[in-house]
């Protein structure tokens, strides 16, 4: 346990998380660009028939253009989120921004597990929190991965953020009862260490309640700000095929 809670171990885990995020999102970006390239090829193949006035070819061009725009939007979202991720340590203290980025990056693992990730965000303004946003984001991502290990037939994880009189509370919950495996205690200890190092505390764990709950205290100055500009993930996000 002492090693898990050690500063060197946390720094090593931060580096590994940073590497994993970049690797995963580069894969997603390459996937989107490859799909767009294939759609461009289909567009070129269809264009001669459209010029000849074939109605089905004209309709297909419209469909291809829409699907290419989808991949462009997907690529832009990845680049925009990675740019904000690069400035996490010096950036926002808004818990909603931190949660949204964690969900965006976790969406790939959720999708690969054929599960669903839902977000429940507060309406209106939220208090700024006093935390290390990079470590908090990492802990949320790790918490989602922990719940994925025990996910059952419902295939759904819900991430919720709610204001608290002294800060904000992040809750991660699976629709199924948590099944503790051999790796779970060690991962829970690491998540707890990350949350504490970020300036928060773990109030509930899956072993106790079937969910994870983190508390993050508000900034001492008591500032408030509007919800973030990032799109809130409504599902698993990520991939799109060319069919």
Kindly state whether residue 231 falls inside one of the protein's structural domains. no
What pLDDT is recorded for position 45?
Answer: 92
Domain assignment present for residue 206? The answer is yes
243 inside domain: no
- Same domain for 61 and 108, yes or no, is no
Residues of the chain where predicted confidence (pLDDT) is lower than 50 = 1-4, 222-243
137 located within any domain: yes
Q: Could you tell me if residue 77 is inside a domain?
A: yes
What is the CATH classification number for the domain harbouring 129?
3.30.565.10
Which of 85, 107, 135 delimits the end of a domain? 85
Query: What is the extent of the structural domain holding 116?
Result: 93-225
Residue after which a domain boundary falls, among 53, 85, 117: 85
Q: Which of 50, 85, 120 is the last residue of a domain?
A: 85
What pLDDT shows up at residue 90?
61
**Same-domain status, 212 and 127:** yes
- Verify that 34 and 120 share a domain, yes or no: no
| 128 shares a domain with 151 | yes
**Residue 200 · residue 105 · CB < 8 Å:** no
Residue 227 · residue 182 · CB < 8 Å: no
Same domain, yes or no, for 119 and 212?
yes
| pLDDT at res. 126 | 63
State the total domains in the chain: 2
Q: Is 6 left (phi over 0), alpha (psi -120 to 50) or beta?
A: beta
Residue 216 lies in a domain: yes
Q: Which pLDDT belongs to residue 36? A: 93
**101 shares its domain with 181:** yes
Q: What is the model's pLDDT at position 18?
A: 83
User: How far apart, in whole angstroms, are the C-alpha atoms of residue 109 and residue 81?
Assistant: 17
Instruction: Output the pLDDT for position 131.
Output: 82
How many CB atoms are closer than 10 A to CB 46? 19
**Calpha distance 28→156 (Å, rounded):** 22
Q: Is residue 202 part of a domain?
A: yes
pLDDT, residue 1, reads 39
The percent of residues above 90 in pLDDT, for the chain, comes to 30
* 22 shares a domain with 77: yes
């Amino acid at each position: 346990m002492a090693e898990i809670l050690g500063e060197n171990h946390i720094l090593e885990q931060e580096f590994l998380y940073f590497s994993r995020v970049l690797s995963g999102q580069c894969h997603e970006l390459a996937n989107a660009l490859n799909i767009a390239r294939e759609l461009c090829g289909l567009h070129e193949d269809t264009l001669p028939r459209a010029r000849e006035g074939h109605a089905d070819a004209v309709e297909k061009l419209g469909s291809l253009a829409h699907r290419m725009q989808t991949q462009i939007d997907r690529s832009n979202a990845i680049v925009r989120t990675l740019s904000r991720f690069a400035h996490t340590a010096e950036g926002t203290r808004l818990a909603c921004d931190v949660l949204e980025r964690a969900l965006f990056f976790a969406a790939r693992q959720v999708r690969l597990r054929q599960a669903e990730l839902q977000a429940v965000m507060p309406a209106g303004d939220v208090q700024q929190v006093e935390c290390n946003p990079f470590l908090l984001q990492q802990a949320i991502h790790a918490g989602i991965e922990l719940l994925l290990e025990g996910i059952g037939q419902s295939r759904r994880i819900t991430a919720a953020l709610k204001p608290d009189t002294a800060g904000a509370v992040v809750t991660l919950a699976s629709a199924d009862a948590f099944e503790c495996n051999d790796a779970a205690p060690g991962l829970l200890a690491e998540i707890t260490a990350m949350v504490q190092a970020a300036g928060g505390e773990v109030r509930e764990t899956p072993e106790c309640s079937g969910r994870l709950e983190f508390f993050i205290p508000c900034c001492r100055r008591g500032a408030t700000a509007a919800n973030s500009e990032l799109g809130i993930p409504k599902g698993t996000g990520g991939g799109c095929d060319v069919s």
